[in-house]
Amino acid sequence: MESRAINPAIVTGVSGSPASARALRWAADEASRRHGRLKVVLAWQTQPRAFYAPVVTHQQLAVRHQQAVDALAATVRAVLGPEAAARVTTEVIEGSPERALVDLSAGADLLVLGAASRRLAERSIGPVVRTCLTRAHCPVVVVGPEGPSGGDSDDLADVCDAASVGRGGRATVALNG
């Protein structure tokens, strides 16, 4: 456990959205600041098909998995640059993003997610963020859109949109990028 305190493990999920790119950037900065390890995760699922639709072959699944691996690598390089991308661990998981991130949070010191909404308390949040906020095994940071709307403000409400305590008393904080 001592090594985790020295090199904390930070996990972030990416989906290809601008919100997940902001979360990745924030997580990378935090990992650098804390001399921690960053794991970037992309979870993907096959779409449910009607019982009469053709069955997806193993070869088609392998192609989709490779596309997900390539997309994750491209996203990490685009957001962090090639040098920083070489220092992070990436993982592609077939399954629901909610379950993958909650499971990975058990071995993490921090889980970082992105949200498109500026004020999480005023708008509906997505199922991935909602599930992680209630079930993660570590503190969760939700990074919102960049910058406060309405100019530069030192008001804490512009920086910290929502805070709650998850299961087991873990702090959960949502930040503007």
What CATH number is attached to the domain comprising 106?
A: 3.40.50.620
pTM of the model: 0.77
Please state the domain count of the chain. Answer: 1
Instruction: Return the structure tokens found at 94.
Output: 């077939």
- CA distances (Å), origin 155, targets 17, 117, 123, 124, 160: 27, 18, 20, 23, 9
Instruction: Return the structure tokens found at 61.
Output: 């699944």
pLDDT tens string 31-53 = 999 999 999 999 988 777 788 88
Answer yes or no: are the C-beta atoms of 161 and 121 closer than 8 Å: yes
- Alpha carbons 159 and 13: distance in angstroms, whole number: 21
Answer yes or no: are the C-beta atoms of 113 and 145 closer than 8 Å: no
The pLDDT of residue 103 is above 70: yes
> In which residue are the tokens 């909610």 written?
98
- What single letter denotes the amino acid at residue 87? R
pLDDT at 126 (0 to 100): 85
Query: What average pLDDT score do residues 84-108 get?
Result: 93
- Alpha carbons 177 and 30: distance in angstroms, whole number: 12
Q: Which domain holds residue 133?
A: 2-176
